[in-house]
Structure 1
Amino acid sequence: MSSKHDSDGISDDKGGNNTHLEAASPHNSELPPDPDAHLSAEERAAIDRKLLWKLDLTLIPWLCILYLLAFLDRANIGNAKIDGLGTDLHISDGQYRAALSIFFVSYSVFEPLTNIALKRLRPSIFIPLIMVGWGLCMTFMGFVTNWSGLMAARWFLGLAEAGLFPGINYYLSCWYKRSEFGVRAAIFFSAAAVSGSFGGLLAAAIAKMDGLGGRPGWAWIFILEGIVTVLFGFVSIWMVHDFPDRATFLSDEDRARVVRRLKTDQQSSAEHEEFKMKYVWMAMKDYKMWLGMIIYMGCDMPLYAFSLFLPSIITQLGYSSTKAQLLSVPPYVAAAIMTVSIGFIADRTRKRGLCNICVSFLGIAGFAMLLGSQQPGIKYAGTFLGALGIYPCISNTISWMSNNIEGVYKRGVVLGFVIGWGNLNGVISSNIYLSANAPKYTVGHATVMAYMIVCLLGGSIVLDLLLMRENKARRAGKRDHWVEGLTAKEAEALGDQRPDFFYTL
């Protein structure tokens, strides 16, 4: 078995060990009619390339804009802080950290449930609905006058935003082959890095509105960004499309082509299926979900620590608030480029675990520089390496989990738990960069470094070795008995537990 087939989930074994799998395999017998059966291989390849471009141009740009807005809205409190939020609301450092933390509580608690709602309500309804909700929460944050109001607004902001990131990752995984998903997820997630750079520039500009309408500059950051989100939410009613078998922007022939592409890639996630609690229990019993949660917390907590406190870290290097906002831009630009590059490399090599392992060393080195040096130039260089080591691992880990979890609802549940648990660790990120520890921030940098070493690096190594061992067992025919006596439909219901499903390493 070649590594390509290990990654794509398609067995090419010719020996007798797997002869019964062909009878039980659901993917050949239930394919939609092929609209291109009469065409040559070259003509079919040309149609496939054209279809893929159509999907990319229709789906990806708008979803990137939505996530840019989401990340901008959740992280702009860091920009607001250095423009006077704490002083105007008379809140202590501890109260500010509580306002950061409460977002992650509601955000993570509701995330595991959101993909079920997305599947049942349809993306064209669910995503615009939550966007309008969090846009209103953001707008109202510009009118809070005390800590209690800020806490309430941040709680509801987390609740409303909970469905976007796991929802869109699940949604995209229902459109693309496993070997195509990584770079798309990376492009989508790079919007977070772009928002970091864009957020710094925007905050520096909006802060100049200080006093307009009797509102401070930080309030206008919330108000204007919230209004923009609400407007984009309404437009999303027409711009966000449903799953492949019901997408109205595709012709009947193109819908059949998309479904056939997924079925031949051993996927059923684009199809409709009645929700049953057994899919939740299947997810809960899967070791990949629990290891995925450990790996994801190893990059997600550092991500939020970085995005929330980068302006403050740079300010402590001796720069003014405006210059700190502007100096926060280059690390984010570098992170966006690195994220897309790693997504492309991981898709081509089918080595997502190895990509996680290699990239994590950059982040560890970056925070070691922040921890061990007091030279402004070295510390600023450390922020670059930190960004390069964190951002690519987010989208790569999500792609890795999506590639290795099969089933309409099981994949959605697993992604919800993985992302939800990672985001719950955002509570930690909100409480490790203390003003009392400035300018060294020893506790914060050391905690981020420990997360990346133990969870991200260690977890990726363990999962990679376990998946490698399982692929070896399946190639040797040691799992063939799992489908003995099953019909094609029953075999399909096994999802990634089918003996002919090979994991992406």
Structure 2
Amino acid sequence: MSELKEYPRRDSGRSSNSATNDKIKGLERDQLEAGISPLVADLPPDPDAHLSAGERATIDRRLLWKLDLALIPWLCVLYLLSFLDRTNIGNAKIVGLQQSLGSTGHPLSAGAYNAALSIFFVSYSLFEPLTNVLLKRLTPKLFIPIIMVLWGLIMTLMGFSYNWSGLMAARWFLGLAEAGLFPGVNYYLSCWYRRSEFGIRAAIFFSAAAVSGSFGGLLAAAIEKMVGLGGRPGWAWIFILEGILTVLFGLASFWAVQNFPDKATFLSEVDRARVIRRLKMDQQSSAEHEEFKMQYVTSALKDYKMWLGMMIYMGCDMPLYAFSLFLPTIISQMGYTATKAQLLTVPPYACAAVLTITVGYIADRTRQRGLCNIFVSLIGIAGFAILLGSEKPHIKYAGTFLGALGIYPCISNTISWVSNNIEGVYKRGVVLGFVIGWGNLNGIVSSNIYRTGPKFTAGHSTVMIYMIVCLLGGSIAMRTLLVRENKKRLTGQRDHWTRGMSHREAEKLGDKRPDFIYTL
């Protein structure tokens, strides 16, 4: 790959189109179409310049393997605990939560229970846009363990709720404490990997949510047998034990979570240079230090990709929470006992985890994240159509498989898609915070649409509308606009944006640089 030390200036008398056509000829054009810019300034010295292409490829594979082992497994465990702690209220509901926390002789009403679900998403969503700025300033090694310990303690205390007010307070603070993990980790991982490598890692990370659905059902089925121990009901022990587990992992995270690449202690100085170099060759500067300025927030708010990303993400995130919070209820309404209902939640999540990782791999290899969203969303729409149209329990259960398969892969794929197309340390963090925060705010909707069973007509219809209009429609719109913009950049119609600029000045434009080619 060629390395130009200065950004080509446009004042040489040549036409913009002519300069662009020269720039994208041959190998350079192939690189641009793959989303890799040959116009990279201030690269760290290449420690492997003296090696052959085969030797360099071997070193690169070893470096990726080292990063994967140090980052991915632990972060997956943390997100598994996070998702388990926010959705285990659905498991607690079918083993007596409403009966215990209601007034004398009267269980909690459906409205009161749904309010307890909804209040989590209010605090969770309001604070998510702020959390990536805090993550960058405090460093991941401090920020992630601190919020984990906090939400683990809150989860434990939720098991000692004696009335609806106590449950509401605990759910509010749980949302506040958990707000930083999902957007933070996705942003954090995007600062380590190339754009064509990020999708599979984000998918593996998010598949922990599907695994938590499986694990949560199995764990709840076992823990609920502790009813009466210490004078607490079985549902309370679900909260207490899972909360203590989170605190322990949070404390361990002070040693297990790594900082950003430029400060990572598990890498040698040479390996840190390799990581930063490979990111800059991929048009990314997010691994390096950058001072926060309000212009990054303004730039994010003016970017149509953020607003379309918010639309797409709400189209899969609201169905996700509806599915996670109410699948045990849906299954129990089909006539299964509490324990069997817990266990029957496991297979749909397991299948969803496999497809999530598969789609992440395919999207990385093809760089067609929009098409992946479109095709996968159709599976989910078909699943909820079955749930809506059938009266037979076993057919409805089959519909839950298709529903899970059509929701879970789109979550991580959408995050990867948005992240791939936003460049700049703080801008990317702000955009991801808004996209994920807005999507989670729609969890309020999912908390209030499954009221009347066992058919759940209003709930399934609302989920279908979200998936058709927001997920499917938004993905089609985003891909169409990105295809159009890439054509303009490849034919030189955006070159005037950097006319007369040095390479350093042009690099600060982030994804507004004419040579930044969007991932479709």
Mapping of residues 128-277 of structure 1, within 5 Å: 128-277=145-294
8 Å CA contact 2:321, 2:446 repeated in 1: yes
Gaps of 5+ in 1: 1-12
8 Å CA contact 2:120, 2:175 repeated in 1: yes
Distance 1:343 1:235 in 2: 29
8 Å CA contact 2:41, 2:504 repeated in 1: no
Q: Deviations over 1:269-295 (max 9, x none)?
A: 111100000000000000000000000
Aligned to 1:82: 94
- 1:29 Cα offset (Å): 3.0
Distance 2:41 2:201 in 1: 29
Distance 1:19 1:31 in 2: 23
Aligned to 2:476: 461
Say which SS state the counterpart of residue 503 (structure 1) adopts: coil
Query: With structure 2 as the length reference, what TM-score do the two structures score?
Result: 0.93
Does residue 69 (structure 1) correspond to residue 81 (structure 2)? The answer is: yes
Aligned to 2:460: 445
Aligned to 1:496: 511
8 Å CA contact 2:261, 2:275 repeated in 1: yes
Mapping of residues 323-342 of structure 1, within 5 Å: 323-342=340-359
Cα distance change of structure 1 residues 441 and 500 upon mapping to structure 2, 3 Å threshold? same
Gaps of 5+ in 2: 1-15, 29-36, 103-107
Q: Deviations over 1:78-104 (max 9, x none)?
A: 000001000000121100000000000
Candidates 467, 478, 483, aligned match of 2:498: 483
Distance 2:324 2:73 in 1: 23
Does residue 46 (structure 1) correspond to residue 63 (structure 2)? The answer is: no
Distance 1:62 1:14 in 2: 48
Q: Deviations over 1:121-156 (max 9, x none)?
A: 000000000000100010000001000000000000
8 Å CA contact 2:17, 2:491 repeated in 1: no
What amino acid is aligned across from residue 512 of structure 2 in structure 1?
Answer: Q
Distance 2:165 2:192 in 1: 43
Aligned to 1:351: 368
Does residue 55 (structure 1) correspond to residue 64 (structure 2)? The answer is: no
Say which SS state the counterpart of residue 423 (structure 2) adopts: coil
Aligned to 1:473: 488
Say which SS state the counterpart of residue 35 (structure 1) adopts: coil
8 Å CA contact 1:298, 1:456 repeated in 2: yes
Distance 1:397 1:202 in 2: 30
Distance 2:408 2:455 in 1: 23
Q: Deviations over 1:373-428 (max 9, x none)?
A: 00011100000000000000000000000000000100000000000000000000
Q: Deviations over 1:172-228 (max 9, x none)?
A: 000000000000000000000000000000000000000001000000000000001
Distance 1:17 1:250 in 2: 38
8 Å CA contact 1:26, 1:492 repeated in 2: no
RMSD (Å) for aligned C-alpha atoms:
1.4
Candidates 405, 410, 414, aligned match of 1:388: 405
What amino acid is aligned across from residue 17 of structure 1 in structure 2?
Answer: T
Aligned to 2:124: 107
Aligned to 1:8: none
- 1:28 Cα offset (Å): 3.0
Identity %: 77
Aligned to 1:3: none
Distance 1:88 1:168 in 2: 36
Aligned length: 489
Say which SS state the counterpart of residue 423 (structure 1) adopts: helix
Say which SS state the counterpart of residue 68 (structure 1) adopts: helix
Does residue 17 (structure 1) correspond to residue 32 (structure 2)? The answer is: no
Say which SS state the counterpart of residue 245 (structure 2) adopts: helix
- 1:17 Cα offset (Å): 2.4
Cα distance change of structure 1 residues 252 and 14 upon mapping to structure 2, 3 Å threshold? farther
8 Å CA contact 2:200, 2:357 repeated in 1: yes
What amino acid is aligned across from residue 224 of structure 1 in structure 2?
Answer: L
Query: With structure 1 as the length reference, what TM-score do the two structures score?
Result: 0.95
Say which SS state the counterpart of residue 433 (structure 1) adopts: coil
Aligned to 2:3: none
- 1:14 Cα offset (Å): 11
What amino acid is aligned across from residue 446 of structure 1 in structure 2?
Answer: S
Structure 1 ranges of 4+ moved more than 4 A: 18-22
Does residue 298 (structure 1) correspond to residue 315 (structure 2)? The answer is: yes
Cα distance change of structure 1 residues 130 and 236 upon mapping to structure 2, 3 Å threshold? same
Aligned to 1:312: 329
Distance 2:157 2:39 in 1: 50
Say which SS state the counterpart of residue 368 (structure 1) adopts: helix
Distance 1:212 1:15 in 2: 78
Aligned to 2:4: none
8 Å CA contact 1:405, 1:495 repeated in 2: yes
Aligned to 2:414: 397
8 Å CA contact 2:40, 2:283 repeated in 1: no
Say which SS state the counterpart of residue 481 (structure 1) adopts: helix
Say which SS state the counterpart of residue 271 (structure 1) adopts: coil
Say which SS state the counterpart of residue 501 (structure 1) adopts: coil
